[in-house]
Structure 1
Amino acid sequence: MKNFETLLNEYAKLCVKVGINIQPNQPLVINAPIEGIEFVRLLAKNAYELGASEVHVNWNDEVLTKLKYENAPMEVFENFPKWYADSLEEYAKKGAGFLSISAQDPELLKDIDPKKIATNNKSSSIALKEWRKYTMNDINPWCVVSIPTKSWAKRVFPDVREDEAVEKLWTAIFNATRMNFEDPVKAWEEHIANIKSKVDYLNKKELKSLHYTSSNGTDLMVELPKGHIWAGGGAIDSKKVFFAPNMPTEEVYTMPLKTGVNGVVYSTKPLNYGGNLIDEFKLTFKDGKVVDYDAKIGKEVLTDLFDIDEGAKYLGEVALVPFDSPISQSNIVFLNTLFDENASCHFAFGKAYPTNIKDGENMNDEELEAHGVNNSLTHVDFMVGSSDMSIVGETKDGEKIEIFKEGNWAF
């Protein structure tokens, strides 16, 4: 049985070799919490061993973040640092890979003025718009992974000691990322091949729409644009190099027709957005737009999300995830979208990935809009899958195909 140090090093190697798939003389930019310094050093060590030319780290700290929100004036949040956005663009132009460690206390900003949070979310989205084109168009490889932090672990496992909570969260992360296999890299290759088989099936069917129903009241019709492309497991960057954007990943996804979403959908897991939780929410769509909504927890936060821009009220992603995925079967609510979205079918508010429509990566904003592709400064996933969810697809020829039955793949 592998000890913790061995698992940790293998995990770091997996992140840079399979996740980013770092190439010789390629820079790597890492965004990480300061609690993860030992793991980041392992990432850097493995990246350099694989030929990386440089490893640059942007650190973040929850204590400093909260102090800033508690004390800084509104104008600070209105003006996102241009130098930071420029530095990311500069690295992107050099062909860098971007590795982000998603690990935050889901209630870090619970008692902070929501207007400060909303203002910062909007200003950062505007400032980082050009850089995000490099990742959302898969020009550069990018990957989101996670490690436990003390505050996050205690939110997930509140009934045990802090050190035990961290240990339990490490175990859950290792299991979710297939580190419990003898050869994790080979396990990932097989997993990605399985996802690809679903992708290939759906792309061959050329579906026109998806009809979601569930006993919780969800009844939603989602039209798909002509030329849409299903994807999952991994992507190909502009240099024809394969990478895995999310670790873990269980989803097969595409984009909806911007104006083609109608009906009602209920969330099935909490959404951690900007350091606050949104939970038990209901959305009503008409011609693609959210026209009514409510939430038992965090409705004001949801309102601020929708106020970022007009596109935030429309969907940009349709993702299918079986209810019996390993993450779902763990029965852990991670309060972290990276994990929870891979335990449940989900949608995303906001910008669609241009790569999910034929030749989309070569279209400008106006051309994408003409093809029914949503554009926005934001992209936020939310979970809707349930154990009894049914999804029925209809092809352009009118054939009805059962895609999901009782929460799982029907084919």
Structure 2
Amino acid sequence: MIYDPVKHAELLVDYCVYAKGGERILVAASTLALPLVAAVHDALLARGAMPIVRLEYPSQLDDFIRLAPKALLANLHPVQLAEVESLDGSIRVLTPTPPSNVAPDRSALYRRTLAPVARERAKRKWNLTLFPTAYSAQASGMTLQAYETFVANAMFLGDADPVARWGEVRAMQAQLIERLSRADEVRIEGRGTDLTLSVKGRVWANSDGKRNMPSGEVFTGPLEASANGVIRYDLATVYAGREVSGIELEFRDGTVVRARADVGDDVLQAALDTDEGARRLGELGIGTNFGIQRASKNILFDEKIGGTVHLALGNAYPETLGTNVSALHWDMICDLREGGRILLDGEVFQESGRFV
């Protein structure tokens, strides 16, 4: 199918942030996403909401982090926080561009500075989505037309009623959560991976497209001191504008005690030094979207691949009852589709990427 920014905008406005008259909704994106931004702007106005549009040129954030004096990177301007406090919701649009040459330690510093903004934004309606760009197509090994189709299909934009399809996703994931909620211990086994952690007493969230579009995952916050063992993340990710791949982590009583990456190890080490909470897990997520079967080097899509798990270092989501606090939240993906397993209290829950 052909990607249609108007259909995408309608799904974001009506379903993801369910905009109401009088609400202030931030629309943040780069100029690469202008067709989608314009469609979202018009859709919000048609529903009586007030769009607050924030546009950047594609490398603006990287340029700021790279060139700004450290005093600017380390100090949050009151207006930045006040604006988020004035909002009812936000829609942020990713527009992938080539990797940057920003120093990882400077990115970590600015991430710590913006942590209060991120916490305030999380208290309101929010959605993170993607507009297909030429670079994102190239990075995924597709033509732009093929990538646009990939994006549209992942969001069900070609369906007569995309909202109904996301309702089906919600119902399927509710069945998984019913079983997961009875588990105390989760064990993940795979190539280079044998990790156990506890989810006893924690809440599993049903990610049905409201916060991420596309979506398709269930997630929780593991007990902060429970992770023990090793894990290898098979799929490459892009973090702080840099590609990182071949990540291996060893946990002892919830804390990363050894870490390495085949590519981008300096980015990984800087991220781990972000703050005290950066070496603990904030999220365990299980991908359920079997309509996404190929990696595209974009976490918004890749963490939803059916048959994968992702474990995020850093900040936990409060609705899961996770308590880890950090300016970092980095999802890393472990592919279990070739012989991997998830066990719940010793019982196989998923094998070779399929729920048993």
- TM-score with structure 1 length normalisation? 0.81
1:151 to 129, 135, 156: 135
Q: Secondary structure at the match of 1:327?
A: coil
Counterpart in the other structure of 2:77? 81
Q: State the AA in 2 paired with 1:38.
A: P
Count of residues in correspondence between the two structures: 353
The 2-side partners of 1:201 and 1:51 are apart by 41
Q: Which runs of 5+ in 1 are unaligned?
A: 235-242, 358-367, 395-399
Counterpart in the other structure of 2:202? 228
Q: Secondary structure at the match of 2:177?
A: helix
Higher mean alpha-carbon deviation, 145-154 vs 255-264, is at 145-154
Q: Secondary structure at the match of 2:26?
A: strand
- Kept after mapping to 2: 8 A contact 1:196/1:233: no
The 2-side partners of 1:64 and 1:129 are apart by 19
Counterpart in the other structure of 1:392? 343
The 2-side partners of 1:37 and 1:218 are apart by 42
- TM-score with structure 2 length normalisation? 0.92
**Aligned positions of 1:308-387 closer than 5 A:** 308-322=274-288, 325-328=290-293, 331=294, 333-343=295-305, 344-357=308-321, 373-387=323-337
Is 1:102 matched with 2:94?
Answer: yes
- Kept after mapping to 2: 8 A contact 1:104/1:151: yes
2:7 to 6, 10, 15: 10
Give percent identity, aligned residues only: 25
Q: State the AA in 2 paired with 1:74.
A: K
Counterpart in the other structure of 1:401? 347
Q: Secondary structure at the match of 1:42?
A: helix
Counterpart in the other structure of 1:281? 247
Distance 1:67 1:202, change over 3 A: closer
Counterpart in the other structure of 2:19? 22
Distance 1:141 1:402, change over 3 A: same
Q: Quick check: which one's helix share is greater?
A: 1
In angstroms, what is the RMSD of aligned CA positions? 2.0
The 2-side partners of 1:3 and 1:213 are apart by 39
Deviations 1:177-235 (A, max 9, x none): 111323222222222222222223322x2x11101111x1200011114x21111134x
Distance 1:129 1:143, change over 3 A: closer
Give the superposition deviation at 1:256: 0.4
Give the superposition deviation at 1:338: 0.6
1:259 to 225, 243, 268: 225
The 1-side partners of 2:166 and 2:72 are apart by 43
Give the superposition deviation at 1:346: 0.5
Deviations 1:67-101 (A, max 9, x none): 4345433333223433222211222xxxx111111
Deviations 1:342-380 (A, max 9, x none): 1131011111111113xxxxxxxxxx7xxxx32222211
Q: State the AA in 1 paired with 2:355.
A: W
- Kept after mapping to 1: 8 A contact 2:154/2:291: yes
Q: Quick check: which one's strand share is greater?
A: 2
